[in-house]
Each structure stands twice: as C-alpha cells, then as structure tokens.
Structure 1
C-alpha cells in the first residue's frame, strides 16, 4: 500500500516532467519557426537604393564664389531635390577661374567620385578672356566625348558671351553649346545664369557672381530641367555602379 502510494507519486512526477519537456520543445519549435520566418522575410526585403550622384563640373559659378558652402548652387540644388523626396547627391566640382581647358585637365579626378550624371558648366571664363570659340568648342567636345566613353550620363549648361566683343564673337560662342548638344545627343540647359545675369539685386558687387538670392533664382530655373531629365533617364541612372 505504501509502495503503491510511492509509485503513484513517482508516476505523477514523471508525467509532470514529461509535460514540461513537451511544452519546452513546443516553444522551441515555435521560436525556430519564427526565426526561420523572420530570416526568410529579412532576405526578401528590398535593399536600400543608393543615391544618384550628380556632379557639376564647373567654374566659380558652381564653386560658390563669394557665398557660403551651403549657399552654393550644388548645395542648394541638392536641398531642392531632397525636398521633393528625390535621393540625389549633388557633388560640387567647381573651381573658381576654371576654363574649359582646366575642366578637361581635371576630368579624371572628377570621375574618381564615380558620378552617375555630370552637368558640364564651363565656358564663362573662356568668354571673359576672349578665347577663340573654336578652342572652347574643341575642349568641350573632348570633355563630352570622354564622359560618354566612361559610361556617364552627360548634361550641358550653356553660357552667353559678353556683348562688348562684337556680334560675330557672340554668335560663334553662343552657338557652340547647341551644336555640341546636338552632336552628342545630350540635354542642353541653354543659359546657366538665366534670370540672374545683369540684375544688380541678384549679383555680388562684381556684377558677375550671384549672391545667395541669385543662387536661389538659378536653382529655381534649373530645377525643372534637372527633374525632367532625371525622370526621363530614371532606369539608366539607377543602373549598378561602374567598377
């Protein structure tokens, strides 16, 4: 009788242990299933999209002569694009005083940043120095050719010559940008200083470089050109980065 009672207590203890083990195994199985489910869904989650890199190869207008770094055209353009929800990084490759020849010399250095798109903004200093338009055209032609050969999407910003050099110089210089855009099949923004040139309220004391208000006007005019071409070429500019 005592033995039977002892055996009953022993059996109850064993049963209780078995139940505990089964519950533990059941919980472990659930955790393993949850872990596997989480892992599978983590693997299927879309990878973050890298920002499109837009470099501006330019002179003092791009560099931001006379304004703070965050007031330069590349910085303000990037802010405007980000405000629209566009994941675009605008890289400032402007050098004050640079000519088309100078831009050509530092082309490889700029390409080291592996931009997806390059907006070429050069030629103003050529015109101020009365450089032969044929020389400016030749330098820009080489820049566009090399950029396209590197697999970069290219946009071109035009410039106008000072009118005191005479109508023939102005005709040759002003016309070279459209000629090159047509030759290379690249989008052309006709005049980089649109809405700002010769307006004292929008320029610094030298009458050439935009002040912060002028920068904002340039960006306001430039923005539709940039967004339109981003949308047209969305597939190509989001292609995998070149090695």
Structure 2
C-alpha cells in the first residue's frame, strides 16, 4: 500500500513542478523590456500646414527625430506650406492635407494675414481659420489639430504687422471655441536675450533652422507626447 501511494504521488509532484516552471517563465517574460510593439508600430503621420515659418522653418527633421525617440515609434512629417501665403490660400489646400491622412495637423496661418499689404482683415482671418478648422475636424475626425503661434517679428517685418498679436489671439480663440489645441512658441523665444534673438532671426521674421529646432521642437514634443518625456 505504501509503494502504491508513492507511485501515485509522483505524477502529482511532477505536474506541480511543471506548473511552477511555467509560472516562473511567464514572470520572466513579463519582466523583459517590451520593445517589439513600438518597433512594429506604424509611423505617426504629421502634416505641418502653414506659411514660410513652416516652409522655410527647417524644424521638421528635428521634430521627427525627437518625437520618434520619445514615443519609440517612427514619425513622418509632410509639409503643406508656402512662403507669403495667407489663410485664403490655406482654404484651397485642404485636399492636400486630407490626402495625407495624418494623425496630427500643425496649423499656422496668422503671420501673413496680419501683414498690412495682404489686406486680410482680422474678421476675415478669423472666419478663414474657423472654416479651415471646421473642415479639418469634419474630414479628419480622428486627427489631433494643433494651432500654433510661432516666433516674434522685428524690424520692417514687425512694422508691417502692427496687430499681429490680435491675429494670434483670434486664431487661438477659434481653436479653443472648437475644443482644439493651441501651442504658443513665443514665450520660449522671448527667453532669449535681445542680442541672441536678433542673431536667431536675422531678417526679423524667419529664424535660422537650427535655432528654430532648438526652440520649437522641445515644446512640440512635450505637447504632442502629453508630457511623458522631454526632448
């Protein structure tokens, strides 16, 4: 009888040992870094939609790199932008933006609207940006739409934009009215000394690309990634 009990106990002991080994293997697997999912994730697609501050900005490659490192997934940025254009032009380019099927759209169109020689009133500019945002929301319902205020103007470029602050406030209000996001880069530019700011934006409007990347990219990485990492 004793030997029979021993023979019956042995399979039970083996099953118990296998169970413990399986549990240990699962715990080891769960403790390993989970790198496979991020590496296989599809690229985060961004469209930068704007004026020369985007077309000539040069900050997009740094944003791709910084955001990809933060999110641990590929990031691809396309620009739909043209120097000297206004919100009126932007209304004609929405098909191009939508065709990219982006996850995020970065929008800046106040700068040339505010230039006196463009003859775009504040009321017209607000109507245009409102229409742009409405169409983007309707046609890209899953995308994050982020309206931006860029760098300050100085010299002649500043003189021809005496009410640029009102245009920025108007675009911000239209974004917020729709529950959309707004990022203001001006405070970060204003932390530079006057001499450094003049050197960074030598023509009074268009920052040097390497300086633009240092100022703009960390703020966008923080905002887009919702503060989970820093550039």
TM over 0.5: yes
Unaligned 5+ segments in structure 1 are 1-44, 66-71, 232-243
Q: Normalising by structure 1, what TM-score?
A: 0.63
**Residue of structure 2 in register with 1:99 after alignment:** 86
Q: Bigger shift: 119-128 or 190-199?
A: 190-199
Determine which of 197, 206, 210 is the counterpart of 2:207.
210
Q: Normalising by structure 2, what TM-score?
A: 0.66
User: How many corresponding residue pairs?
Assistant: 178
Residue pairs, 1:22-41, within 5 angstroms: none
Which whole-Å CA distance do the structure 1 matches of 2:160 and 2:84 have between them? Answer: 20
Residue pairs, 1:56-205, within 5 angstroms: 56-64=48-56, 72-84=58-70, 85-129=72-116, 131-150=120-139, 151=141, 152-158=143-149, 164=159, 169=163, 172-191=166-185, 194-195=188-189, 199-203=197-201, 205=202
Deviation for aligned residue 1:121: 1.5
Tell which has more relative contact order, 1 or 2 (C-alpha 8 A, sep 6+): 2
Q: Are 1:55 and 1:115, in contact at CA under 8 Å, matched by a contact in 2? A: yes
Runs of 4 or more consecutive aligned structure 1 residues displaced over 3 Å after TM superposition: 45-48, 159-167, 169-172, 191-194
Deviation for aligned residue 1:134: 0.8
Deviation for aligned residue 1:214: 2.0
The alignment status of 1:50 with 2:39, answered yes or no, reads no
